[in-house]
Amino acid sequence: MTRRFLQLALPSPLRQTFDYILPAKLDPPPAGARVRVPFGRQEQIGICLGVTTATEVPEAKLRAATEILDSEPVLPASLFTLCQWAADYYQHPLGEVFDTALPVLLRQGEPVASPGELRWRTTRLGELFPTDGTIRRAPKQLEALLKLRDHPDGLIPPLLASFGIERPTLLALQKKGLVEYVTLAPPEPEKAPEGLREPHYPLSAEQKAALEAVNARAGEFHPFLLFGITGSGKTEIYLQAIAAVLDRGLQALVLVPEIGLAPQTVARFRARFQAEIAVLHSGRNERERLEAWRAARSGRAGIVIGTRSAIFTPLARPGLIIVDEEHDLSFKQHEGFRYHARDLAVRRAQLEKVPVLLGSATPSLESLANARQGRYQLLRLTERAAGASRPAFKLIDLRQQKLQEGFSDPLLQAIKGTLDRGEQVLVFINRRGFAPVLLCHDCGWQAHCRRCDARPTLHRAPTRLHCHHCGSESAPPVHCPSCGSSDLRPVGLGTERVEDFLRQRFPKAPLFRVDRDSTRRKDALTKLYHDIHSAGPALLVGTQMLAKGHHFPKVTLVALLDIDGGLFGADFRAPEHTAQLVLQVAGRAGRADKPGLVLLQTHQPAHPLLHELIVAGYDAFADRMLEERRLMSLPPFGYLALIRAESTDAEKPMAFLQDVASAMEDGLEAWGPVPAPMEKRAGRFRAHLLLQASRRPALQAALAKLVPRIEALPDARRVRWSLDVDPQDIT
Ligand code: ADP
Ligand code: ZN
Ligand code: ZN
């Protein structure tokens, strides 16, 4: 008999496939099935890519697979292809891509289908067996038999144990043929229940046009960009488009940003639909994730909602893919397999032949450019739903103003007026903690993180210096380590300091601080939202956690203390991201019947970017940014890849990237290597090499050649290096 070999993708950083012997006693698995193999001194589970009769590996070196776990592929063909495509596109090892795509428990060998429940029940003989005979001498067995006779559908072991019926007793009965241990089939994947729990809203003309456009493309690949201001009813369109998909017996996949998967998002879907909703996000345990994955794969769940990695959830009958807040940075994975879930969503829709709907009030420049070039169909919503009016923007010129803890007089007056009217105020400051700098007033010394090129943030309760980059914490010094002075002062503002100031200034108004520190406990955020909703006039102080997704109907004033740093920051994407943040925060204001006001404090009131953003709107702002990007051949008009290297040795990263740059062929432009903007982080030195190409295929081809050369470099194992295709932040 000819020998057969398995080609496997294994979770390993090596960019290669692995060959194993298929023992004669095992049936050849289909591509996409899981296979257990020895790997080093351990076992691993890999994904079968194919079965061959030849291998280039000398046979003495080959080991045999130990177990075939599946008789059918774990992932449907479209997802299998998506994973392979992503591995190529991001130049990432395929085994690790599968590792991201599959729930942890499946990677550990759990069955794909729900195994159903194992139960004890009586056999036919057990039903009829006389209880006045020999069995009377075994009272435990008698008791067990009688109990099971009362439960013709059988009982699960834990329940039997709770009646004091143990396994040896049951085994004895089994030996006599009186009871059996059976698997009851898992619930049949039924068609998703249809129908609405609550009626849809009647749509505005704009909403109606958008919905009809999406519905008209059922059953074909068609990308849409739904560009609608905050509160314009985008979610309502998702809900109604999903209803149409469910009506046709299909499933919808909805991706939301990490922060957007607050319980109320899911609640809104649950309130509308009868259909089962599978929810996948990091807050769920592995068992729950697997169950949700199974519900999606079997077709039982009509709707699948999840964060980034949910893009890899299999669907039995895909009908529509939605990416809400498509500009959100959390869709890009920032380490390991650095994929962009939005981009994969578009690719997946193409493979599944379904429409894909990207929605945002502040679309990414990439998606806007795609829409302007006609690759995506643009759907606009320019009015707020339910008659609410758009918030008005006003700049407060900070130059020469006297500031109290970062607040100008006009801003304080506006806050007072809002509270007096019984309404709520949202103060946005994108820095948690008390103050970003601890400074010696006598000699100018500043606290510095020992492991990073960064200043640690001063936090209080307990008072400590906390580096947000490496996580290290220490007690702040009492005396200046440089001159011994005790005049150490916190400089700059964080949420805690703003909280202190506002509490003292407006002692009667309840204050809610929303940032990573105040929401660490499970359910803390839900409780905060709840308290904010039931409060009367109140102050909300928070970071971007406050900016996204959530509606605060009583907020009529939004204050942005200082965004100059972000808007005019160093990274070429900084203005885009800051503009998105400003509009998202602003969108929290005046959602209900009362109009909202947004006050922006700035030292640069005449800056054209700011002017465009708040007067002409995001469209005009995006036009200017796109024009700048075009002139510089930056995305979306050029294509980037970033190679990062780091090491505890200060010289190595730069030297290594120099070698990488020399290994490169024409067709790419290389910028650098340069030390990273924060050269030292968590005790390691970091450097960057940015690669740029004018066309995507050129970048792809060059990277495919470059990566094996990098791997062959002598230092490739001595530095930590990574490749980031389409990097979102260059820090
Ligand atoms: P977005 O997702 O664009 O921020 P939402 O879909 O959340 O907007 O809508 C904002 C608010 O308006 C919600 O409270 C929603 O229930 C309501 N709404 C949306 N569409 C309509 C409509 N056609 N008629 C009445 N109310 C609507
Ligand atoms: Zn000093
Ligand atoms: Zn640090």
Q: What CATH number is associated with residue 718?
A: 3.30.70.260
**CA gap 450, 472 in Å, rounded:** 9
Per-residue pLDDT tens for 594-648?
778 999 999 988 888 888 888 888 999 999 999 999 999 999 999 999 999 999 9
409 and 554 in a single domain? The answer is yes
349 and 430 in a single domain? The answer is no
Report the range of poorest mean pLDDT among 74-83, 174-183, 323-332.
174-183
Amino acid 381: pLDDT: 94
Rg of the chain over CA atoms, in angstroms? 30
**pLDDT at 569 exceeding the cut of 70:** no
- The Å distance, Cα 474 to ligand 2 centre, comes to 18
652 and 616 in a single domain? The answer is no
Stated pTM of the model: 0.87
- Number of structural domains found in the chain: 5
Domain with 63 in it: what CATH number?
Answer: 3.40.1440.60
**pLDDT at 75 exceeding the cut of 60:** yes
Per DSSP, what are the bridge partners of residue 52?
5
**CA gap 631, 633 in Å, rounded:** 6
Report the range of poorest mean pLDDT among 143-152, 185-194, 300-309, 526-535.
185-194
**CA gap 594, 390 in Å, rounded:** 10
**CA gap 516, 52 in Å, rounded:** 52
Please identify, by atom number, the ligand 1 atom nearest to the C-alpha of residue 202. Answer: 23
35 and 46 in a single domain? The answer is yes
Please give the average per-residue pLDDT across 497-522, as a whole number. 92
235, two tokens: 């979610």
**pLDDT at 190 exceeding the cut of 60:** no
Band the pLDDT of 204: cuts 50, 70, 90.
very high
Task: Give the range of the structural domain holding residue 425, as residue numbers without chain letter.
Answer: 388-435+492-627
- The Å distance, Cα 306 to ligand 1 centre, comes to 21
Please identify, by atom number, the ligand 1 atom nearest to the C-alpha of residue 239. Answer: 6
Report the range of poorest mean pLDDT among 53-67, 215-229, 504-518.
53-67
**CA gap 463, 453 in Å, rounded:** 22
The continuous run of DSSP H or E covering 77 comes out as helix 77-89
Per-residue pLDDT tens for 94-124?
999 999 999 999 999 888 877 666 788 899 8
Q: Which residue, by CA, sits nearest to atom 20 of ligand 1?
A: 233
**CA gap 594, 387 in Å, rounded:** 10
**pLDDT at 186 exceeding the cut of 80:** no
Amino acid 488: pLDDT: 95
Please identify, by atom number, the ligand 1 atom nearest to the C-alpha of residue 235. Answer: 6
CA 22 vs. chain centroid, Å, equals: 38
Portion of the chain with pLDDT greater than 90, in percent: 65
Distance separating the N- and C-terminal Cα atoms of the chain: 57
Amino acid at 407: F
92 and 232 in a single domain? The answer is no
109, two tokens: 């060998």
Which one of the ligands is nearest to 477 CA?
A: 2
pLDDT mean across residues, the chain: 90
**Greatest mean pLDDT range, 172-186, 197-211, 389-403:** 197-211
Domain with 287 in it: what CATH number?
Answer: 3.40.50.300
The last residue of a domain, from among 59, 75, 107:
107
- The Å distance, Cα 487 to ligand 2 centre, comes to 8
Instruction: Tell me whether residue 282 is in a domain.
Output: yes
65 and 171 in a single domain? The answer is no
Protein residues with CB under 6 Å of any ligand 1 atom: 201-204, 207, 228, 230-236, 385-386
381 and 396 in a single domain? The answer is no
408 and 513 in a single domain? The answer is yes
Please give the average per-residue pLDDT across 272-299, as a whole number. 89
Which one of the ligands is nearest to 380 CA?
A: 1
**CA gap 673, 662 in Å, rounded:** 11
696 and 548 in a single domain? The answer is no
254 and 226 in a single domain? The answer is yes
573, two tokens: 């994407």
**pLDDT at 593 exceeding the cut of 80:** no
Phi, psi for 609 (deg, rounded to 5): -60, -45
Amino acid 574: pLDDT: 86
Instruction: Tell me whether residue 341 is in a domain.
Output: yes
Please give the average per-residue pLDDT across 34-44, as a whole number. 93
Amino acid 388: pLDDT: 66
Asked, as a colleague might, if the bond just before 677 is cis with ω within 30 of 0, I would say: no
The last residue of a domain, from among 148, 183, 218:
183
Q: Among the residues of 90-152, which ranges form H helices?
A: 94-101, 104-107, 124-128, 139-150
- The Å distance, Cα 686 to ligand 3 centre, comes to 14
**pLDDT at 189 exceeding the cut of 60:** no
The structure tokens 């398995």 sit at 6
- The Å distance, Cα 207 to ligand 1 centre, comes to 10
Per DSSP, what are the bridge partners of residue 340?
332
Please give the average per-residue pLDDT across 303-321, as a whole number. 96
Ligand 1 binding pocket mutation candidate from 225, 234, 236 (most atoms within 8 A of CB): 236
**pLDDT at 274 exceeding the cut of 70:** yes
Instruction: Tell me whether residue 473 is in a domain.
Output: no
Nearest to 296 by CA among 320, 278, 273: 278
149 and 278 in a single domain? The answer is no
Ligand 1 binding pocket mutation candidate from 235, 254, 588 (most atoms within 8 A of CB): 235
Instruction: Tell me whether residue 448 is in a domain.
Output: no
Instruction: Tell me whether residue 511 is in a domain.
Output: yes
613 and 713 in a single domain? The answer is no
Taking the CB of residue 45, how many other CB atoms lie within 10 A of it?
Answer: 22
